[in-house]
Amino acid sequence: MSKIVVPSDPTVALDPPYLFPDYRSTVFRSPSKALVMPPAGLTELTGPKFGEGDVRDTDSDLTAHGDGEPIGERIIVHGRVTDSYGKPVRNTLVEVWQANSAGRYIHQLDQHPAPLDPNFVGAGRCLTDSGGHYRFVTIKPGPYPWRNHDNAWRPAHIHFSLFGRAFTQRLVTQMYFPGDPLFFQDPIYNAVRDEHARKRMISAYDHSVTSPEWATGYRFDIVVGGAEATPFEEVES
Amino acid sequence: MADSFAYPVTDVEASPGITPSQTVGPFFHYALPYDPGPAVAGPDRAGAVTLTGQVLDGQGEPVPDALVEIWQADERGEFVEQSGLYSEVSGDGFRGFGRCATDEHGRYQFRTVKPAGVPTADGRPQAPHIAMSVFARGMLRRVVTRVYFADESEANATDPLLEALDEARRPTLVATADGSGYRFDVRIQGADETVFLDVFAR
């Protein structure tokens, strides 16, 4: 086995706390004891890797999974996945899922009385390219109600799941849209207490990607944190 | 039910840095779990075992909408180069990674092998273990733990992580023999809370 160097990371994690009582479901689903720092072990410093065999081209076009076009505002969502040193994370798996344009998930537990769209499932995946870029075509999701508090609505969002290069870098997050009027009352978004860090979850409208007479574009860059094992040889080269 | 909230909304710019975590929410089931997901090892793998358990909340209630993921070395302590995710593992294959949604009783089950111990980055030996993440509605970020094995008591006794824990909490990280494999319950909160790890330090 090659000698391993574990780089320390220059940035600070600003993840939400486990317990954020405004989001009621956290009350009994949050650890009460302090986390323990494990020794840096190879299991956590490595992670699953994926390849072309794990995705098909059509997996990244969420508008192409039915017999016809889904209803709603067609959008292109793209961005770059980097580590906290700014290095692109290549060939990493990005999985997304979302509500349809009416704010309804194709999930048996979603009881929101809004229509399902026979032409929209709302799940996609892709691999980042050699520059760390990903790109999805989808429909802008609608906001939807939930029962956390009085007249509670989730801002429109797309769920993202990423692996990075190491188990430490695994990230599940949500991408929001600029100017959403529902941010002020959403405890999930606001559970990220640092307001500058919170804004990292909001995509930017990107006219350079907007495609004439076809779809508007949004950019959502993602930074995964966490140490990874770097073979000594690579550090030297 | 709480009335409502009025968090301040300001015009500040995003600062550069790591993208914060958000909950996986309740509606991931049509996107993330997949039939071959719980098979880390193929059915014909010599020494294949089940790893099963329950995810429980702070009231001792099963968590029926959790997603459990594991990552590990193989029997020789090697990590696979390509895991694959959506396809079946071949008969005696091994992919190191597994994903399983909990059922209505909060239960998960993987088929895998017990890995060889892999060292720390600075070369200290560790007892065999599997890395585990649990995601769920109500969890704004995942919890991370390690699954050790009760039949490795000698290796466990000198494992750097287990050694550093209060003795009373060590058993929360040790899977016990159960039928054709091992059982490992995850208690998210409470007196017998599982030891969760900070792998988020950057």
Q: What is the share, in percent, of chain A residues with pLDDT greater than 90?
A: 81
Write down the pLDDT at residue A236: 37
Question: Is B94 strand, coil or helix?
Answer: strand
Please name which of B164, B163, B173 lies closest in space to residue B195, comparing C-alpha atoms.
B173
- For A35, B5, B147, the CA distances from B162, given in Å and listed in that order, are 14, 42, 11
Tell whether pTM > 0.80.
Answer: yes
Contact in structure between B195 and B145 (CB atoms under 8 Å): yes
Q: What is the ipTM of this complex?
A: 0.96
Residue by residue, DSSP assigns B138-192 as T-SS-EEEEEEEGGGHHHHHT-HHHHHS-GGGGGGGEEEEETTEEE--EE-SSTT
Write down the pLDDT at residue A87: 94
Question: Is B2 strand, coil or helix?
Answer: strand
Which residues in chain A are closer than 8 Å to B145, comparing Cβ atoms?
A: none
Q: Which of residues 126-145 of A touch B (CB under 8 A)?
A: none
Please name which of A3, A15, A93, A88 lies closest in space to residue A51, comparing C-alpha atoms.
A93
Contact in structure between B24 and B135 (CB atoms under 8 Å): yes
Radius of gyration from C-alpha coordinates of chain B? 18
Q: Which of residues 40-99 of A touch B (CB under 8 A)?
A: 40-51, 53-54, 84, 93, 95-97, 99
Q: Do B135 and A172 touch (CB under 8 A)?
A: yes
Write down the pLDDT at residue A8: 42
**Burial annotation A8-41 (CB, 10 A radius, 16+ → b, else e):** ebeeebbbbebbbebbbbbebbbbeeebbebbbb
Q: What is the pLDDT of residues A51-89, one digit of tens each?
A: 888 899 899 999 999 999 999 999 999 999 999 889 999
> Per residue, what are the HEC states of A162-213?
ECCCCHHHCEEEEEECCCCCCHHHCHHHHCCCCHHHHHHHECEECCCCCECC
Write down the pLDDT at residue B121: 87
Instruction: Indicate the range of B66-75, B83-92, B130-139 predicted with least confidence.
Output: B83-92
Q: Do B120 and A42 touch (CB under 8 A)?
A: yes
Q: What integer is the mean pLDDT of B127-152?
A: 98
Q: What is the pLDDT of residues B37-64, one digit of tens each?
A: 999 999 999 999 999 999 999 999 999 9
Whether A134 is a known active-site residue: answer no
